[in-house]
C-alpha cells in the first residue's frame, strides 16, 4: 500500500477506473460511551467527469464524508482510493500535498481572505505550489474570466456580492486544474437567484470542461443540476442514482 502523493499521476487516470473510491469508509468521534458514528461503512465510486450531489438531512454524515473525500480528515476505518492510490493513512503533510495538487475546494461561507483582492485570492494556491509570479497572474486572470469575473480582479471580497465572492472561490478552486472540485453547500449563503447562477456555472464547467464536481447540498433544487444524486441517511448511503441506474438497466 503506497501512501505517497507522488504515486498519483493525473494523466494515468484510467477512464474505466473510478477517480475516487470509498470502500467501507467509517468514521467515529469520541470514545466509549460518548462514541458517535458519523459514517458507518460507505461505499462510493466517482468517475472522472461526473457531477455528483450528496444529499441528506443534517447529521447524516454527508459533511464528514466530504471532509474525508477532501482529505481534510482521515477515516477511522475503510479504504479510500484516489486514482487507485490508498490515501486513507496519509499523514497531515501528505494530505496537504494531495489537496494542493489534485483538489479544489468551494465552501458555503466562500472563505476568501479578507482585504485581499480577488486576484490575490485566486493566486494563493499557486503561491503554495511555488509557481512564478507571471504564471500566477496569468492563471488567476484566466480562472477569473472562466467564472465571468474579468474586470473584477482588484476588488476585495468586501466590494463583491455574495454570488461574486463564490465565483472568486470557484476560480480559486479551479486555478490549479484539480482532478475534483469539492463544493460544500456552495449555495448555502446565497439567495435563490444567485444560487441558480452558481449552480449553472458549476454545471457548465462540468459539461464544457469535464470538471468532476462533488457537491454537498440539502436543497433538492440545487441537486437537480447534478447528474447523479447520492442520499445519505444515518451515516449510510440510502440511495445512489448510479446504482439504481445499474439496477434498472
Partner 1 sequence: MFLNALLLALREIRRNLMRSFLTTLGIVIGVAAVITMITLGNGATRLISEQISSLGSNLLIMRTGQRMGPGMSGGARFRIADAEAIEAQVSSLKAVAPVVNNGATLVAGGTNWSSAINGSTNAYLIAGNWTLAAGRQFTDEDEKLGKAVCIIGSTVREKLFGTQNPLGMELRVKKMTCEIIGLLASKGQGAMGQDQDDTVIIPIRTAQRRLTGNQFVSSIMMSMKDGVDTDRVMLQIRSLMRERRKLADNDEDDFNILDTKQIAQTLSGTVGTMTSLLGAVAAVSLLVGGIGIMNIMLVSVTERTREIGIRLAIGALEHEVLLQFLTEAVALSAFGGLIGIVLALFSCLLLSHLMQMPFLFDPSINLLSFAFSAGIGVVFGYMPARRAASLDPIEALRHE
Residues forming contacts to partner 1 in the complex (CB under 8 A) are 67, 70, 72-73, 92-93, 96-97, 99-101, 103, 105, 107, 111-116, 120, 124-125, 127-130, 172
Pick the closer one to partner 1 by CB: 37 or 74: 74
Pick the closer one to partner 1 by CB: 67 or 217: 67
- What is the DSSP-derived secondary structure letter of residue 241? H
The label of the residue with cell 467501507 reads 24
Cβ at position 111, least distance to partner 1 in Å: 5
- What is the DSSP-derived secondary structure letter of residue 223? H
Cβ at position 30, least distance to partner 1 in Å: 15
Query: If residue 68 lies in a helix (H) or strand (E), which one and from where to where?
Result: helix 62-69
Nearest Cα neighbor of 229 from 50, 12, 33, 27 is 50
| Radius of gyration for the chain, computed over Cα atoms and rounded to the nearest angstrom | 18
DSSP-derived 3-state class of residue 70 = coil
Cβ at position 130, least distance to partner 1 in Å: 7
Pick the closer one to partner 1 by CB: 157 or 235: 157
Cβ at position 188, least distance to partner 1 in Å: 13
Those residues whose C-beta lies under 8 Å from the C-beta of residue 211, and which sit 6 or more positions away, are 49, 174, 181, 205
Pick the closer one to partner 1 by CB: 1 or 114: 114
Cell digits of residue 48 = 472522472
Amino acid at each position: 500500500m503506497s501512501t505517497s502523493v507522488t504515486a498519483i499521476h493525473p494523466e494515468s487516470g484510467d477512464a474505466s477506473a473510478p477517480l475516487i473510491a470509498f470502500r467501507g469508509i467509517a468514521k467515529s468521534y469520541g470514545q466509549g460511551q460518548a462514541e458517535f458514528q458519523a459514517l458507518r461503512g460507505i461505499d462510493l465510486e466517482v468517475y472522472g467527469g461526473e457531477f455528483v450531489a450528496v444529499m441528506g438531512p443534517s447529521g447524516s454524515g454527508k459533511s464528514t464524508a466530504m471532509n474525508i473525500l477532501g482529505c481534510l480528515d482521515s477515516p477511522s476505518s475503510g479504504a479510500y482510493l484516489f486514482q487507485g492510490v490508498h490515501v486513507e493513512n496519509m499523514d497531515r503533510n501528505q494530505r496537504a500535498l494531495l489537496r494542493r495538487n489534485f483538489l479544489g475546494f468551494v465552501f458555503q461561507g466562500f472563505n476568501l481572505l479578507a482585504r485581499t483582492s480577488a486576484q490575490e485570492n485566486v493566486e494563493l494556491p499557486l503561491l503554495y505550489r511555488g509557481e512564478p509570479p507571471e504564471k500566477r497572474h496569468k492563471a488567476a486572470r484566466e480562472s477569473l474570466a472562466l467564472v465571468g469575473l474579468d474586470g473584477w480582479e482588484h476588488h476585495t471580497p468586501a466590494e463583491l456580492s455574495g454570488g461574486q465572492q463564490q465565483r472568486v472561490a470557484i476560480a480559486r478552486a479551479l486555478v490549479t486544474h484539480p482532478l475534483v472540485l469539492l463544493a460544500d453547500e456552495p449555495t448555502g449563503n446565497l439567495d435563490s437567484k444567485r444560487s441558480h447562477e452558481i449552480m449553472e456555472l458549476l454545471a457548465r464547467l462540468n459539461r464544457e470542461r469535464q470538471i468532476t464536481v462533488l457537491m454537498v447540498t440539502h436543497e433538492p433544487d440545487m441537486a437537480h443540476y447534478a447528474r447523479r444524486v447520492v442520499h445519505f441517511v444515518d451515516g449510510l448511503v440510502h440511495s445512489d442514482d448510479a446504482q439504481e441506474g445499474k439496477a434498472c438497466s
